Amino acid sequence: MSEKKAAIIIVGNEILSGKTTDVNTPFLTRELRALGVGVQRVTVIPDEVAIIAETVRDHLNRYDWIFSCGGIGPTHDDVTMAGIAVGVDKALVRHSALFEQLTENYGPGLNAAQLKMTEVPEGTELIFSAAQRVPVLHFKQLYIFPGIPELVVRKFNAIKERFREAPFYLVKLYVALGESAIADHLHDILLQYPLLQLGSYPKLNKSDHKIVLTLESKEKPYLHQALQALLALLPAEAVVKIDPDLQTFA
């Protein structure tokens, strides 16, 4: 089954300097995963036109969906639009709908900072919704969000159904052995089931288990077969719990 490839671009010196904690990436990755979309890359870059342009240009050639956050406000360091315009080789133009909307909000005679927020790469689409008065900006497969987390949540929720794909199925195994004891088994399972997404996560200070294994696939029968194959390799007494329960999952 072909899967959509997604990437996230976080723009902001404040993230790279540690002055602000990025909460947009965890939100978007969780939401996209719930929609059946796996994120393959997260890139954090500074407020620099050349780097934004290079990153956007590269991502447009690699990913089906790209989500950028940050750098679209009225201040001197809001250069995301300029960077995207360079990256897609388009002029930065004033969008009439944004101009009209800002004029309604601020009145006639917009100042330079307000006018800056009407400028987008030529060909940018505005996605309006009943639940969101301020549109989401969209160019090809790139969706452009502000950096303010509350706005990212509202804007993404307004359009998220357009990204829905076949769901991921997930099973967790709680195992009472260390990674070194089962590493060969995990390797063998991936040889047998190369499309399986298999994760191994050591847990410290747990009285009943040392690892949580996660098995994921968009094909439920494929996942079930891989799970059964792994269980056949592991000592029965080492498997503390299966979530969801094996009988309900089958």
Position 249 scores a pLDDT of 61
Rounded-to-integer distance, Cα 9 and Cα 107, Å:
33
List % helix, strand, coil for the chain (3-state, nearest 5): 40, 25, 30
Rounded Cα distance, 175 and 21, in Å: 33
Residue 1 has pLDDT above 60, yes or no: no
What per-residue confidence (pLDDT) applies to 134? 81
CA atoms lying within 13 Å on the CB side of residue 130 = 0
Give me the long-range contacts of 89-96 (CB less than 8 A, separation at least 24).
Answer: 90/121, 90/122, 90/123, 91/121, 91/122, 92/119, 92/120, 92/121, 92/122, 93/119, 93/120, 93/121, 93/122, 94/118, 94/119, 95/119, 95/120, 95/124, 95/126
Give me the mean pLDDT over the 22-40 stretch.
Answer: 97
Strands 169-175, 211-217: parallel, antiparallel or unpaired by DSSP?
antiparallel
What letter represents residue 176's amino acid?
Answer: A
Domain with CATH 3.30.70.2860 in the chain: 169-249
Q: In which residue ranges of the chain is CATH 3.40.980.10 found?
A: 5-163
Instruction: Identify the pLDDT of residue 161.
Output: 95
SS3 244: coil
Has domain 169-249 been given CATH number 3.30.70.2860? yes
pLDDT band at 246 (very low <50, low <70, confident <90, very high): low
Q: Is the peptide bond before 167 cis (omega within 30 degrees of 0)?
A: no
Q: 5-163 has which fold? A: Molybdenum Cofactor Biosythetic Enzyme; Chain A (3.40.980)
Q: Which amino acid is at 157?
A: N
| Least-confidence region, from 4-8, 90-94, 133-137, 224-228 | 133-137
Cα–Cα distance between 95 and 218 in angstroms, integer?
A: 40
Q: How far apart are CA 132 and CA 112, in angstroms?
A: 25
Cβ atoms of 174 and 240 within 8 Å: the answer is: yes
Q: What is the pLDDT of residue 250?
A: 58
Which pTM was predicted? 0.91
For the stretch 147-174, pLDDT in tens is 999 999 999 999 999 999 999 999 999 9
For 118-140, what is the mean pLDDT?
90
Report d(CA 184, CA 247) in Å as an integer: 27
Three-state DSSP state, 90: coil
Binned at pLDDT 50, 70 and 90, residue 232 comes out as: very high
Q: pLDDT tens-digit profile of 34-93?
A: 999 999 999 999 999 999 999 999 999 999 999 999 999 999 999 999 999 999 999 999
* Angle between helix 24-34 and 149-159 (nearest 10): 20
Residue 165, SS3 per DSSP: coil
**pLDDT number for residue 128:** 87
Q: Are 39 and 6 in contact (CB under 8 A)?
A: yes
- What percentage of residues in the chain have a pLDDT greater than 70? 97
* pLDDT tier for residue 2 given thresholds of 50, 70 and 90: low
